[in-house]
Structures are given as structure tokens and as C-alpha cells.
Amino acid sequence: MKALSLSYMLTFLFLQGFAQQIGNIPSPAHFKRVNATAGSFSYWLRHTKLKKDNTVYLFNGEKKRNQQAQYAVLDISIGKRDLQQCADAVMRLYAEWLYAKKQYAKIVFLATDGTPMDYTSWRQGYRFVLRQQKLQKLKSTGVSDDRAAFDNYLQTVFSFAGTLSLSKQLKPVTHPDDIVAGDVFLQGGSPGHAVIVMDLAINAAGEKRFLLAQSYMPAQNIHILKNPLSISPWYSHKFGTELKTPEWVFRAGSLYRWP
């Protein structure tokens, strides 16, 4: 058993720089990945591409000081501004999935003041402008339905949304046993943090393991987190009263899901 455990540790270390997408990260011993329906959010997350280099860079091109938190790095842009932080990365992944499916009407995020920032209005030429401490939706341009317009929409979302607004938009998941890919561990507020469940595996006894991804402050590459309690990047759903990640500890009751 010890030899098998050591073998798996070496497997995770050896393959750390070779996985081309989330689904290539080896499952824990005696676990297999749960089924993911083609087109679903969990399927899209599993097929998200990874960079060959697992170095995390900040939005300004500098290396993140802490290079010990990540197992792998997602091949997704950061942007040139300090915007795509923790909650923003969660919203980015969800928005990218819906955008890929052309389900534009479902791309809606709440601003911190409660204003819905919908992509449909953005495509029609409306913009969200801060006036007297309140966001207003104003018609200011023509039809904006290309990729550049979508990226600009996301930058606006990242400017006015955060962990607090995300906690009001998502729905609590009462039991960690029910965890699925796409769920979010979230502590809303300032400071707050959010990480997203990227993939899920299960064994014959029904025990689940999951992968987590985060961005952080300052804005940086979205990355798969190491498990500080294991050589493997997989976390157990039986984490007790708190879930310990490399840069944040989530209390029990912090699991949320997109409505």
C-alpha cells in the first residue's frame, strides 16, 4: 500500500508539467472521474486547456511572489488591469462557457449595489455607468456583439462585482456530499475570497475528490490549487469544519452553486 501511495505521489509530480487540459490531471488512486454531459459546465471545465509552464504571472507581467500554491495554470488571459481577481475568475469561467454556447441571455452578473449587468444589453449598445454611487444602464453606442465587446463587458463586470455580490447571486449548497463541478467555495465581503470546483472524481464507496482553481490579488493567472495537506491537488469532500487551501481557509457552509 505504501509503495502504491509513493507511486501515485510520483505520478502527480511527474505529470504536473505535462497535462494539456484539466481532464489530463490524473485521478487519485481508486477514484474515477464522474460523468460529465457534453455541453455542460462540468464538461467545459474538464476540457479547459492548461499552460505548459505552471508559473503564475500577475496582470503586469511580473511573477507572483508565492509560486508554491499552484499545481497547474489555466491557459486563459488575465488582462492588462488589476481586475480579474478571485470572484472575477469564477465569473470569467462561467461567462466563457455560456459565451461558447451562445447563451448570451444567461450572461448576467450582479454589481455590488445589486444592479444586474446583463450581456444582452451590452450587445445592444447599453453601458453600465456609475452615477451618484449607483450604476445606471445607458444607451451610448451601437450594436456591440464581437469578441472585443465581450471582453470589455467582462472588464466592466470585474470593476463593479465581487465576492459580496457573487454571494447574493449564487445559491448555498447545504451538504458537501452534493458537490459538483462548477460549484464555488465563497466568502463574501472585504476581505473575501472565491475558488471554483473544476473537476470531480468518486470511488466505489461514494467518497468524492475535487480540483479547485483560483485567481487572487493582484489579478493573476487562474491556476489549479495544490492541496496543502497532500502531494495531490485533489481535495476530499469530507473536509470537516474548514477547507484549507494554500492561501485561504473556508469555513463549513461556504459552498455555493450557480442558480
The pLDDT tens digits of the residues spanning 146-191 come to: 999 999 999 999 999 999 999 999 999 999 999 999 999 999 998 8
Whether residue 100 has pLDDT greater than 60: yes
Distance, CA of 112 to CA of 158 (rounded, Å): 10
Q: What mean pLDDT, rounded, does the chain reach?
A: 94
Neighbouring-strand partners of residue 116? 110
Q: Is there a contact between 136 and 76 (Cβ–Cβ < 8 Å)?
A: no
The pTM (predicted TM-score) of the whole model is 0.93
Computed on alpha carbons and rounded to an integer, the radius of gyration of the chain in Å comes to: 19
User: Would you state the pLDDT for residue 15?
Assistant: 54
User: Would you state the pLDDT for residue 2?
Assistant: 40
Percent of the chain with pLDDT over 90: 90
Residues 6 or more apart in contact with residue 84 via CB below 8 angstroms: 59, 78, 92, 158, 215, 219, 220, 222
Percent of the chain with pLDDT over 70: 93
Whether residue 54 has pLDDT greater than 90: yes
Residue range 69-77: mean pLDDT, rounded = 98
Whether residue 12 has pLDDT greater than 80: no
Whether residue 13 has pLDDT greater than 80: no
* Torsion, Cα of 167, 172, 178, 180 (10° steps): -20
Whether residue 234 has pLDDT greater than 70: yes
Please report which confidence band the pLDDT of residue 236 belongs to, taking 50, 70 and 90 as the band edges: very high
Residue range 201-230: mean pLDDT, rounded = 98
User: Would you state the pLDDT for residue 145?
Assistant: 93
Please report which confidence band the pLDDT of residue 3 belongs to, taking 50, 70 and 90 as the band edges: very low
User: Would you state the pLDDT for residue 141?
Assistant: 94
Distance, CA of 71 to CA of 22 (rounded, Å): 11
Residue range 105-110: mean pLDDT, rounded = 99
